[in-house]
A and B are shown apart, each in its own frame.
Chain A
């Protein structure tokens, strides 16, 4: 969420919008990234236990990611509109769990929701915090399509670099000393 780490509320459902999957885009994604017959060939897919074409799980997840990015940008716009400086989100270190629950067929509309379930300052990157995000995807019949638990970086607004780190950073700017530090570490 492009709010500052400090302003992010936990366990609040944040709607990300929906997406209707066409057969054309299901086949296009699967041809590039998941070319199994039930994702690429509507005729052969009839022989599978799905009984027809279904989207690759990675496709439905990638669309969910796009929905989240769009929501971040919209939130950024909203905050700027209020005269506030938006927060900064960074790359993600990983995904704890991803469970595909129901297949997505051509014409299905999937609705995505983001909930931040926990947050803490990063141990490895000073000035950044970690967000524990849950994204759920539900189809037009109310069936759960997938549930995921992801980790994301978010910049701290109120971070003040400790004196020790500021000194270390200053030392690395002196060429001879930086060489010594690199050799020692």
Chain B
């Protein structure tokens, strides 16, 4: 920078360099203008190009870059080559492709065709794994099929990794062999090869260890899930039992309620008798109510019979029935006393007859309750 440039810079304080912005913006916009290929076409092209190129080179398929240079009327496809393949490799692949004309995908099938030894080993390992996995799966197969699928996926992935490792090893060995062929200093190469082989071996071992670890984990998981299932079943049984207990309780409560209702009904009836002069009908009502109670109690008892925890409820019921009975007796006694006092006062024949009927109906309710007592010990 000269002295005058410095003075100029000093004088022109507006330091914003818009030319740089203009240049940058132009670069961006022109890059877009110049590439006439739609992205879908680029993707298709990249796929086809990769399929072809990968027959001859090991390439990094993620770094592919496709640009059309309009100025030179040329297509630029940049693919980083990771490895060069030897002619023998390519020829072998071609032959195998000819033999098997319908590969699943052009990328994977030639690679799978290559391997002779290590992949077979990997396959054997796979075979060993799968039955073991299935055993562990069987335990919770009907319980958790999704989990099983996931596990299968994991295992297949591990298997793929092993296969991949084996493939890598294979290609490494091939490379090593190729080098040996081309090179006169074989010893060093042999050592390298041995080293590579060892590396491969340890890699495979690691993968196998991973698989084993996975299997152990799987088994533990299966046993845990089985145990959980057992606990679940036990819990369900307990819950069912509890539910039954609750039904018995409810029945007992219903019976008690019914008994209480009866009691209050009887009390009401007695009250009515006390207040009403037409006692006959009331006596009949009482008899009817008593019959209802009787049948309801029978039903309740029938329900209790079905249950195993009947004894306690039955005893409770019996106690309650006894107390009801006592109360009824008391009430009937009171009633008869009052009636006798009334009879003594009014001395009317009609009323005497009615009272006799009433006392009979009051006695009718006693045998109903007496019938219950012999039934309880049977249960």
Q: Do A and B bind each other?
A: no
